Amino acid sequence: MRREVESLRKTATYLAQQQLLELRDMIDQVLEEKDEAIRDAEHAEKAKTIVAQRYVQEPMRCGKANCKCARGELHGPYWVLVKTFGDGRTKKQYVGKQLPAGARAGHVPIASKKTSRSARRSKPRAA
């Protein structure tokens, strides 16, 4: 990489001032695009990372059109695992009448996640 930069620098000395100014604008734009790509990747990572989860009980509809639940008389309650993702979204996962063996109502600890994000940020804006 070092050598490419030296070579580009040498080429730059042959350019007119106006061309160099345009080049600087172009480099700024490329840097911005790369930053944006990093932000998008970070957001995507957040969106798929579970930051909290808990078991809750909820009354439910079975979906049958003629069922009593369609008229508001719901079934259950059934256990549901509510997962909260890093971007704030939640997703519910049906569990059933019984909690899984060993599970308790409320907060469920999350297995520790890798934190690969910090390393990327601290790198200089090369490449």
Residue nearer to Zn ion on the CB measure, 8 or 67? 67
Closest approach of Zn ion to the CB of residue 105, in Å:
24
Binding residues for Zn ion, per CB under 5 A?
A: 62, 67, 69
Residue nearer to Zn ion on the CB measure, 73 or 87? 73
Residue with tokens 């350019």: 15
Lay out the sheet containing 106-108: strands in order across. 90-96, 75-85, 50-60, 106-108
Closest approach of Zn ion to the CB of residue 125, in Å:
58
Closest approach of Zn ion to the CB of residue 63, in Å:
7
Q: 47 Cβ partners below 8 Å, 6+ apart?
A: 85, 86, 87, 89
Alpha helices in the chain (DSSP H): 2-12, 17-48, 117-122
Closest approach of Zn ion to the CB of residue 61, in Å:
6
Residue nearer to Zn ion on the CB measure, 64 or 114? 64
